[in-house]
Amino acid sequence: MVFRLKPAHVTFARWFIRIRWIAVGMLIFATFITKNVFGVSVQDTQIYILSGLLLMTNVFHVVMINRIVKSAGIHVVKLVKRELHVQITLDLFILTCILHFSGGIENPLIIFFFIHMVIASSIFSKFKTYIHTVSAIILLVALGWSEYKEIIPHYPLDGFIEHSFYQNKEIILGAGSFFIFTAILIVRLTQMVISRALKVEDAYVQTNIQLVKKDVLQSKYVLRVTHNIKGHLAAIMSNLRVVQANMVGDLNTKQQELVDRSYNRSELLENFVTELLSLHRKRLKQEPEFEEVSLVDITSKLISMTNTLAKEKGQIFTYHIDKTIPSFNGNPLTLNELFGNLLTNAVKYTPPGGDIRMTITNTDKYILSEISDTGVGIPEDEITKVFNEFYRASNVEKGVKSGSGLGLSIVKQIVENHNGKMQVESQVGKGTKFLITLPKK
């Protein structure tokens, strides 16, 4: 399966276009309200014409971006950046014209120049960003100076602000100096933030690359080790089959039982190693670890192991698996580990003569699993702690073989990875019940 990645610049360009649609709509609405509701004098006809021009340029930008994405190939980012240059340049020119017909430098819309500078700083190099900044400064200074010198007419916002500011040289120089200083400061700060963000992103990318390399090396190592283990297991099982079939002499009942147990355990271990090999091969090939799995098949393999373990301790193991359970998307290796852990723990913490039960049922949307025992139980105040790494309940007898304390934390993680839920019910001295809900989809 091939995934086509959409460059961030394409997403940004389309976002910029969407913002422009909104801005044009707000401009038209604000012009109408300003003149017809608040009675402020504004050259609405000219502004509506410029709004239409802005709409036309936006349609042009949409067509260009779609054409670039469709046919540019590896040059898509370069061409999108070039198109963004065009967008910002046209925006600044049209914005200057809009300001001219709505109060000139007295209009608060002057702030939109800064927005375009921030946008330029976010996607372009310092040099190109300062080109746009200088262009904005030149346009605004030219507008203010031309109106001051009466080269072009001034259209005041009567009814909104005093319109004599454009004739005051001190105010023009002060406002112009402030605008230039603020523009440079905004660009500089934005560039600093973007630069730091890029450094963090680069460090993040490099770390992930190293982690991927490490994971590949680890998978290759595990692949080699498990392959060797599988070879040795095959040799052991081959010898056990010879002994099991009485080809080297008859066995008494006790000897036959021990050989059968050894063969069954070896067979379970071989299945586990096979699944582990499959998992790491998928990781090396970057294939999905989830696939269509049958919970009936997975648990049926574990039944024989649990029966053997339970018989060794004089326990009674019963089970019921609904044969109508369909296949679903899951990780066969980790699901095997999930049920294997719970069943092994049930045997481990249940005294001789106790009962262990596994029930798996089918519902409309979920597969419900229940594994219960009549073992030592878990103290009520420790139930939430047993899923912590390396935690063992305080009432575990000293005679019980110690585990790593990781089993239940691994179980919880596997359930969560399958978007499932798990509940625990337990009473000290009476036993424990694990309830697992796994979604079919």
Q: What is the mean pLDDT of residues 345-365?
A: 90
157 and 306 both lie in a single domain: no
Asked if residues 438 and 420 have their Cβ atoms less than 8 Å apart, the reply is yes
26 and 162 both lie in a single domain: yes
Domain count for the chain, please give it. 2
Is 2 part of a structural domain of the chain?
no
Q: What is the pLDDT of residues 134-171, one digit of tens each?
A: 998 899 889 988 888 889 998 887 766 665 666 677 77
Q: What is the mean pLDDT of residues 327-344?
A: 86
Residue 292 has pLDDT above 70, yes or no: yes
Asked if residues 77 and 84 have their Cβ atoms less than 8 Å apart, the reply is no
Is 310 part of a structural domain of the chain?
yes
Q: Angle, nearest 10°, between helix axes 111-123 and 169-244?
A: 30
Domain, as residue range, for 101: 8-167
pLDDT value, residue 390: 59
Taking the C-alpha atoms of residue 94 and residue 344, their distance in angstroms, rounded to an integer, is: 74
Q: Please say which residue of 143, 167, 191 terminates a domain.
A: 167
Taking the C-alpha atoms of residue 31 and residue 28, their distance in angstroms, rounded to an integer, is: 5
Is 240 part of a structural domain of the chain?
no
Is 144 part of a structural domain of the chain?
yes
Is 22 part of a structural domain of the chain?
yes
Q: What is the pLDDT of residues 77-94, one digit of tens each?
A: 788 888 889 999 999 999
Q: What is the mean pLDDT of residues 379-406?
A: 63
Q: What is the mean pLDDT of residues 379-404?
A: 63
Q: Please say which residue of 144, 167, 190 terminates a domain.
A: 167
Contacts 24+ apart (CB under 8 A), 2-7: 6/69, 7/76, 7/77, 7/80
Is 205 part of a structural domain of the chain?
no
153 and 297 both lie in a single domain: no
Is 32 part of a structural domain of the chain?
yes
Q: What is the pLDDT of residues 298-321, one digit of tens each?
A: 888 788 888 888 888 899 999 998
Q: What is the CATH number of the domain that holds 378?
A: 3.30.565.10
pLDDT value, residue 302: 87
Q: Is 237 exposed, middle or buried (0-12, 13-18, 19+ CB in 10 A)?
A: middle
Is 354 part of a structural domain of the chain?
yes
Residue 17 has pLDDT above 60, yes or no: yes
Q: Please say which residue of 132, 167, 202 terminates a domain.
A: 167
